[in-house]
Amino acid sequence: MATTRRRWLEEGLAVLAEAGASALTIEALTSRLGVTKGSFYHHFHNFQDYKEQLLTFFEQEGTLRIIEHTQQLQTSPLDRLHQILQGSLRHPSQLEVAVRAWAYQDSLVHAYQQRIDQRRLAYLAELIFLLCHDHGQARRTAQVLYSIFVGSQHFLPPVQGDELEALYREVARISDFLLLPAGRKTDRKESEDAKE
């Protein structure tokens, strides 16, 4: 059976996740797929072309497709935010760490990673703004949530699944304060003081 372009790209992400960028070679890919170099060059001009397509594929699958899918949901901003956070619990942390490490060694990868981070942050901030109606607060809250996601991957062992969800829940526990419009914080404090 012929090896499709998508199969080459999926295998490239698998190599990255398992062994990092240094293991990503044409020889490694052909060996894993059991095909010749001719098959590689049928789909890609050279390794640089493959790398660019691989990064585009990573961005599409790990960011753009997820945002597009979430945007199509006929749900509230809070439900869409919850959907994104739940999705991150299943996101392969090894691949994220490998690409981020690669970005420190390669300027092209760095540009892709920076764009991916900015797109993810912008989408989180967009959803949170619909809840708090304060651009600064939305941006900062998005940074907190995304910092948890990125940072959790770099612990040894990584913070994943239920543990990562517990961190998100801790932010949610205080989100009634974080997501209040700035003018309402004082009202809430006065209300609490009046109860005492």
Residue 183 in this model has a pLDDT that exceeds 60: no
Task: Give residue 13's pLDDT.
Answer: 97
Cα 109 from Cα 16, distance rounded (Å): 13
Higher pLDDT, 185 or 62: 62
pLDDT confidence of 180, banded at 50, 70, 90? very low
Q: Which CB contacts under 8 angstroms, 24+ apart, belong to 59-67? A: 59/112, 59/115, 59/116, 61/13, 62/91, 62/95, 62/96, 62/116, 63/116, 63/119, 63/120, 64/119, 67/119, 67/123
Task: Give residue 173's pLDDT.
Answer: 79
Residue 156 in this model has a pLDDT that exceeds 60: yes
pTM: 0.85
pLDDT confidence of 25, banded at 50, 70, 90? very high
Task: Give residue 30's pLDDT.
Answer: 97
Is residue 194, in this structure, part of any structural domain at all? no
Number of H-type helices and E-type strands within the chain: 12, 0
> What CATH number is given to the structural domain containing 67?
1.10.357.10
pLDDT confidence of 181, banded at 50, 70, 90? very low
pLDDT confidence of 176, banded at 50, 70, 90? low
Is residue 109, in this structure, part of any structural domain at all? yes
Is residue 45, in this structure, part of any structural domain at all? yes
pLDDT (tens digit per residue) in 122-140? 999 999 999 888 899 899 9
pLDDT confidence of 172, banded at 50, 70, 90? confident
Q: Name 190's Cβ contacts closer than 8 Å, sequence gap at least 6.
A: none
Mean pLDDT of 85-93: 87
Is residue 193, in this structure, part of any structural domain at all? no
Share of the chain above pLDDT 70, in %: 89
pLDDT confidence of 2, banded at 50, 70, 90? confident
Residue 75 in this model has a pLDDT that exceeds 80: yes
Domain that holds residue 53: 5-182
Is residue 121, in this structure, part of any structural domain at all? yes
Is residue 192, in this structure, part of any structural domain at all? no
Task: Give residue 188's pLDDT.
Answer: 43
Is residue 112, in this structure, part of any structural domain at all? yes
Structure tokens at 163: 């543990």
Q: How many domains does the chain have?
A: 1
Task: Give residue 1's pLDDT.
Answer: 53
Angle at the Cα of 91 (from 87 to 95), degrees rounded to 5? 160
Is residue 187, in this structure, part of any structural domain at all? no
